[in-house]
Amino acid sequence: MAALLCILLCPAWLAAQDKTISGKIITSNLIPLAGVNIVVSKTNRGAISDANGNFTLQAPASAKLVITQTGYKTQAITAAVVQDGVAIKMEEDFAELDEVIVTGLATNVKRRNLANAVGTISNKELTSVAPAQTFDAALNGKISGANINANSGAPGGGISIKLRGVTSVYGNTQPLYVVDGVFVDNSATSGGLNAITSAASGGAPTSSQDNPSSRIADIRTEDIDNIEILKGASAAAIYGSKASAGVIVITTKKGRQGKTAINVSQSIGQIAVRKLLGVRKFTADKAASLSRDPAAGAILKQQFIDAESKGKIYDYEKELYGNKGFTRNTGISLSGGGEKTNFYFSAAQKDEGGIVKNTGYRNSSLRLNLDHRINDDIKIGISSNYINSSTDRGFSGNDNAGVSLGIALSSTPGFAQLHPDAMGNYPANQFGSSNPLQTIALMKNNEAVNRFITGLNVEANLQKSNSSLTRFVARGGIDFYNLATTLLFPGELQFQAVSKGTIIQGNTNNLSTNYIFSLANIFTPTGNLSFTSSTGITRETGNYNNLLNVATQKISGQSNVDQAGALNATQFRSRYQNDGIFVQEEAMVHNAISLTGGIRFDRSSNNGDVNKYYAYPKAGIAVNLTSLGFGKNGFFDNLKVRAAYGQATNVPAYGSKFTSMVVSNIDGNPGSLAGIQRGDATIKPERQSELEAGIDLSVLKGRLSFEFTAYNKKIKDFLMLASPPTSSGFSSQWVNAGDLRNRGIELGMNAKPISNKNFSWTTSLNFWLNRSLVTRYIITPVPQGSFGYVLGSFQIEQGKSATQIVGLNGAGVGVLGNAEPTFQMNTYNEFTFNNKLSLSFLLHWKKGGDNVNLTYLQNDFGQTSADFDNVTNKAGMPDGIYRISQVGSNARIFVEDASYLRLREIGLYYTFDKLSKNIFIKTIRVGASLNNYLTVTKYKSYDPEVSNFGTGFSSGVDVDPYPATKRATLHLSIDF
């Protein structure tokens, strides 16, 4: 550490005579441009242009001023040239070639020289069309090359993001999230719902079917300045052990020098269910047919007749899911700064209801980002964020006890009487083990989070000369959260007859830390050649502790776990430490040919051998042909060919090297019972290697640009929770089971067909597809990740797609579908009239990709599906009965095409500026937006985006989810 302190305290000083420089920045239309960054080259000193485009700073006359602004081409001007009154004209950068992309931990490169296809999402695309409830949902449909899927419509998020296909089966499939240099935890912790639903057998209080939210949902979208998406190892390798599934690099807003800008925003809106399935229309005879026993049938018939005569036939689906949730989102932000210190502060709260009563989401957030320049050579940045969120997620999904809303609904006909009597007592549901109206009214399933995320960033110039600049960059932070989960099922509930009331309280503390120390040297021997060498060390640690108390036989009205007759506690802890060392060399020739090579060494406490460093190389090349002079004055404005290769590690899950003995007591005697999972003491990390290549080109002065990328991503030694013969005593066993690969293409087009003072149109169009193949598999294929062959299941098999769905096909077991979409497309369009009125929308098309739809089967089985009595099958029997008759012989009808075309977001906004000088208000923006309002699909359940098993490999299994929602919102935003 002493060496590090020395670096901070003994920077190299630049000694030169400064002079005051002031200038004005304008656009090509001669409009003053505010917020432009002017930096004295090779220093941290800079200025920002004010509302009139003016700026002032101190610099030596010989210094270079680098002038940058997102959306404009970067310029470098000698300070001496800048004089008062001389305007500097910025040229629009339609193709965003000058966008700076972070390529290393301490280095970055402009898009025009980038060897990878890196996706970016601006704040505008995230929040300015039709904002989603949570950050993860806001990414949906916006990332080329990603397969994004919402687990359910439950409040509080829960999204699976797979970049460039499946990167793992039982290892991590989700990208790493980095917020201002802090590796942010995105785990999903179950609140213990399985203790109620028994969705997974075995009696554990938690299962993968408990549908918790994922923790990345806590981040407030409005604070984000931009997002970079590194899709695979060739780009992400530098982030180390946690980056094999890609990295989502989030940069939050920073303050800028100048007058303090204040923004106040308020939205209000409404959430409604996207689609209902409808209910079966009963008649007296159909009611009677619910029972095979004639006497019971007669009673049912009478019940129906009584209910009908009193007008008491209900649509319980509508009652359960038809609530209109009110949403509000209030935010205030301040940003500004002086010569040395800039700040961004925001305070915000959103509170949203759900489509099921007593469900909803509230998130309160405070953020303070500070940047301080100690001197010309040392800069520190601190970002800190406190989040408090509370989610009431309701009760949905798979369940073997007949208690979740959807399962209860599936067997309840409209003539059942479920409403409370005058005393407020709910009747028992004679058609199921629970009365869903009672369940909603009395239960609670809450996740409450308190979270601190703090990042620190130190950059120092250690040495400067005309040809060389050496920098030290230290970046890191902590992410701590406490998650308190509360499940409350009072004894009055119909299904609590045995347990007499259940309280389940979970308490989770998670601390993640990470840091990077790196040194980078930029050596420019001649104007046409530069080398960037960087080296450094990284470390990430995690410490997770989850304590879950399940109390039954509870005292009426009480919610503390000690207020009960029986109490069961479970605890799960995990810790890891990953260490890495990296070296990277980048060379730039003629500002046109960029070469990168690097190697990383990683080890992890989760590996079998905790001391062993595994080596992961990377390399890249990008040749900008137009910069080399090819096609000068010709058709191409920019033409680049590129290729990149990289390897990354994916470490085993904590505990995969142990064979545990779990606690299993009897009558007060403590017992140890062999765990069902067999560890592998020699377990190795997965190794991913990715090769991508592409061509980027832009024409018509950058108004039209194209990006083509193809990739081949291989995963070697992928980890499987194999199913050994269970006669061994083990049901699962960690093994490095085989290799798989993903190949795919990504095509992108950006255009600005019209751009003038009165009207502009920006459009982008993306197309992507991925195909996976298991190239080696050493264990016997067995159904995984769903409910077996009878209902359709995933199965890893050599020579087959990793996401194939197999099951009974009438003549044995065969392939029934594939969860992988055939292709996906999106288009984002923005129309602006007179710089005041804007209309933008995002359209997303997923073609192909199958789900295992069991929601419909449940309704058939309960004889309540809307089309139960239609006769369209070849057997000539009612469709509901026909579909049930397929169970056990043919799973084909449960595997369903989940294609959709969705208008994800559409927003219309009007901006009032040039307001009277007498008021403080600069601009007022008003708008209206619709989120997920229109979906075209043939899929038969609530929504094609669904995952009973949460975020992981086996998404797309549909078992009575919390139905998907849509949102309509009105917006008001005022800048002071």
Partner 1 sequence: MKFSNHISTGILLAAAFFIYSCKKDYGNLNSPTIEQFLANANASELNNLVSGTESGMRNNMAYYLDDIGVIGREGYRFSNAEPRYTKDLLGAVEATLNNSTFYITTPWAARYRVVKNCNTLIQAATNSTLITAAEKSGYIGFARTIKAYQLLLNINLTYKNGIRVDVANADQLGAVVTYDAGLADIASILDSADAGLATAVVTFPLAGFTGFSDAAGLAKVNRALAARVAAYRAQWAEVLTDLNGSFFDLTKDFHLGVNHVFATGSGDKLNPMFIPQNQNGEVRVAHASFATDIKTGDDRINKATLRTSTVSLDGLSSNRDVWVYTTSTAPIPIIRNEELILLYAEAKIQTNAFADAVTALDAIRQNHGLPVYSGALIQDALITELLYERRYSLYYEGHRWLDMRRYNKLAELPKDRTGDDVWESFPLPISE
Give the footprint of partner 1 on residues 410-429 (CB under 8 A).
Answer: 410-411, 428-429
Q: Are 121 and 70 in contact (CB under 8 A)?
A: no
Question: Which residues, at least 6 apart from 876, have a Cβ–Cβ distance to it below 8 Å?
Answer: none
587 belongs to the binding site for partner 1 (CB under 8 A): no
665 belongs to the binding site for partner 1 (CB under 8 A): yes
222 belongs to the binding site for partner 1 (CB under 8 A): no
| Angle made by CA atoms 542, 544, 548, in degrees to the nearest 5 | 175
Q: Which of residues 512-541 bind partner 1 (CB under 8 A)?
A: 517, 519, 521, 523, 535, 537, 539
**Closest C-alpha to 478, from 525, 505, 512, 502:** 512
**Closest C-alpha to 151, from 204, 208, 90, 67:** 208
615 belongs to the binding site for partner 1 (CB under 8 A): no
Tell me which stretch binds partner 1 (CB under 8 A): 14-22, 98-106, 400-408, 796-804.
400-408
Is 261 or 407 the residue whose CB approaches partner 1 more closely?
407
Tell me which stretch binds partner 1 (CB under 8 A): 63-71, 269-277, 402-410, 449-457.
402-410
Q: How far is the CB of 32 from partner 1 (least distance, A)?
A: 41
The whole-angstrom separation of Cα 382 and Cα 476 is: 10
Q: How far is the CB of 655 from partner 1 (least distance, A)?
A: 7
Beta strands 468-489 and 444-464, pairing class? antiparallel
Q: How far is the CB of 102 from partner 1 (least distance, A)?
A: 21
Supply the DSSP string of 86-154, one letter for each residue.
PEEEEPB-TT-TT-EEE-SSS-EEEGGG-SS--EEEEHHHHHSSS--SSHHHHTTT--TTEEEEES-S-
332 belongs to the binding site for partner 1 (CB under 8 A): no
What's the token pair of residue 274? Answer: 């996207």
Count the site residues for partner 1 by CB under 8 A. 117
Stated as kind and residue range, the H or E segment containing 738 is: strand 732-755
Tell me which stretch binds partner 1 (CB under 8 A): 1-9, 35-43, 51-59, 643-651.
1-9
Is 682 or 726 the residue whose CB approaches partner 1 more closely?
726
Considering only 152, 389, 742, 858, the residue that binds partner 1 (CB under 8 A) is 858
Q: How far is the CB of 862 from partner 1 (least distance, A)?
A: 6
Q: Are 196 and 489 in contact (CB under 8 A)?
A: yes
Q: Which of residues 786-825 bind partner 1 (CB under 8 A)?
A: 788-790, 793, 808
Considering only 434, 510, 803, 955, the residue that binds partner 1 (CB under 8 A) is 434
Q: Which of residues 95-154 bind partner 1 (CB under 8 A)?
A: none
Question: Which residues, at least 6 apart from 81, have a Cβ–Cβ distance to it below 8 Å?
Answer: none
Is 161 or 416 the residue whose CB approaches partner 1 more closely?
416
Considering only 101, 484, 595, 674, the residue that binds partner 1 (CB under 8 A) is 674
DSSP secondary structure letter of residue 680:
-
Tell me which stretch binds partner 1 (CB under 8 A): 42-50, 80-88, 226-234, 395-403.
395-403
Q: How far is the CB of 759 from partner 1 (least distance, A)?
A: 53
Considering only 670, 799, 812, 876, the residue that binds partner 1 (CB under 8 A) is 670
Q: Are 353 and 156 in contact (CB under 8 A)?
A: no
Stated as kind and residue range, the H or E segment containing 695 is: strand 686-699
Considering only 669, 756, 758, 918, the residue that binds partner 1 (CB under 8 A) is 669
Considering only 71, 729, 753, 814, the residue that binds partner 1 (CB under 8 A) is 729
Q: Which of residues 542-581 bind partner 1 (CB under 8 A)?
A: 552-553, 565-569, 571-577, 579, 581
**For the chain, how far is it from start to end, CA to CA, in angstroms?**
45
**Closest C-alpha to 496, from 196, 191, 209:** 196
Q: Are 552 and 502 in contact (CB under 8 A)?
A: yes
Distances (CA, A) of 8 to 42, 339, 375: 17, 20, 11
Q: Is 764 left (phi over 0), alpha (psi -120 to 50) or beta?
A: beta
Q: How far is the CB of 858 from partner 1 (least distance, A)?
A: 7
201 belongs to the binding site for partner 1 (CB under 8 A): yes
Q: How far is the CB of 17 from partner 1 (least distance, A)?
A: 24
Question: Which residues, at least 6 apart from 648, have a Cβ–Cβ distance to it below 8 Å?
Answer: 233, 236, 237, 240, 241, 243, 244, 616, 687, 688, 689, 690
Supply the DSSP string of 822-846, one letter for each residue.
SEEEEEEEEEEETTTEEEEEEEEEE
Q: Which of residues 497-516 bind partner 1 (CB under 8 A)?
A: 497-498
Q: How far is the CB of 666 from partner 1 (least distance, A)?
A: 4
Considering only 663, 778, 871, 915, the residue that binds partner 1 (CB under 8 A) is 663
Q: How far is the CB of 494 from partner 1 (least distance, A)?
A: 8
662 belongs to the binding site for partner 1 (CB under 8 A): yes
Q: Which of residues 455-474 bind partner 1 (CB under 8 A)?
A: 462-463, 468, 470, 472
Considering only 8, 12, 262, 370, the residue that binds partner 1 (CB under 8 A) is 12
Q: How far is the CB of 789 from partner 1 (least distance, A)?
A: 5
Q: Where are the beta strands (DSSP E) in 138-257?
A: 146-150, 159-163, 176-179, 182-184, 224-230, 247-252
Is 364 or 574 the residue whose CB approaches partner 1 more closely?
574
